[in-house]
Amino acid sequence: MSGDHRSAPAAAQVRHVEALLEARGLLAPGEIDERIDALAAGGTPAHGAALVARAWVDPAFRERLLADGNAAIAELGFSMGGALQEQKLTVVANDEDEHHVIVCTLCSCYPIALLGPSPGWYKSEAYRSRVVREPRAVLAGFGLELPASTRITVWDASAESRYMVLPLRPEGTADVTEDELAGLVTRKGLIGTAAV
């Protein structure tokens, strides 16, 4: 199956709307493609990992990140922009009593700028529908067995809102540098389907 969908009916509709926006001066020719390319090229899980590591070593930054994700990530030079509008970023922190996991039940909304392109399983209907109904079973399928006493909260992303998980800092990392800590953080940890 080809990945080229330029002849699909939806693609023709998108091109038509884009042409109308360009004709009205609301978009420059090619602007949507440029923004999508810039967002995809600049997004990497290393950005999210850097934010997590900073939050682990700087309690004041952690508080700012949890209070206003967009403002806090700007401190490290990151942005949720790159699309036609900036999405609201909410960062949710795991602790001993609660574990967070993110999903987009309607499609695959996801903080690309901080986590890079979404993995295939995140976009799958199986993950999107099941993690809301059976989060503990889905996490177990990823190899993450949580104690029965741990509450699991599922956050559903939307076109306007994106979520990122702030994982628990691993034990025994008190003397580890911020860069080394960032190297421990994975995309699955930022989504909540793995521990760090």
Helices 45-57 and 59-67 cross at an angle (nearest 10°) of 130
A 10 A CB-CB count for 91 gives 27
Please say whether the beta carbons of 45 and 116 come within 8 A: yes
Please give the pLDDT value at position 2: 35
pLDDT number for residue 4: 42
16, 17, 20, 22 alpha-carbon torsion, rounded to 10° = -100
Residue 82 confidence (pLDDT): 53
Among residues 52, 72, 70, 85, which one has the least CA distance to residue 178?
52
Angular region, 46: left φ>0, alpha ψ -120 to 50, beta rest:
alpha
Q: What is the pTM of this model?
A: 0.79
Closest CA to 146 of 121, 168, 174, 123: 168
* pLDDT of the residue at 5: 42
User: Is 2 a catalytic site residue?
Assistant: no
Specify whether 104 is catalytic: yes
The one catalytic residue among 108, 118, 158, 161 = 108
In this structure, what are the phi and psi dihedrals at residue 74, rounded to the nearest 5 degrees?
A: -65, -30
138 in Cβ contact with 161 (< 8 Å):
no
Is 107 tagged catalytic?
A: yes
- 79 annotated active-site: no
Q: What CA–CA distance (Å, rounded) separates 190 from 192?
A: 5
Comparing C-alpha atoms, which of 169, 184, 185, 165 is closest to residue 59?
169
2, 7, 79, 107: which one is catalytic? 107
For 30-61, write each residue's pLDDT tens digit.
776 666 655 555 789 999 999 999 999 999 99
pLDDT score for 11: 63
Q: What is the CB-side half-sphere exposure of residue 42 using CA atoms within 13 A? A: 15
**DSSP structural state of residue 168:** P
Of 2, 7, 79, 104, the active-site residue reads 104
The one catalytic residue in 7, 79, 109, 129 is 109
> Are the CB atoms for 114 and 81 separated by under 8 Å?
no
Q: What is the pLDDT along the chain (196 residues), one digit of tens a residue?
A: 334 444 456 667 777 887 888 888 877 877 766 666 555 557 899 999 999 999 999 999 999 999 999 999 999 999 886 544 578 999 999 999 999 999 999 887 889 889 988 898 999 999 999 999 999 999 999 999 999 999 999 999 998 899 999 999 999 999 999 999 999 999 999 999 999 9
**C-alpha atoms less than 13 angstroms from C-alpha of 129 in its C-beta half-sphere:** 3
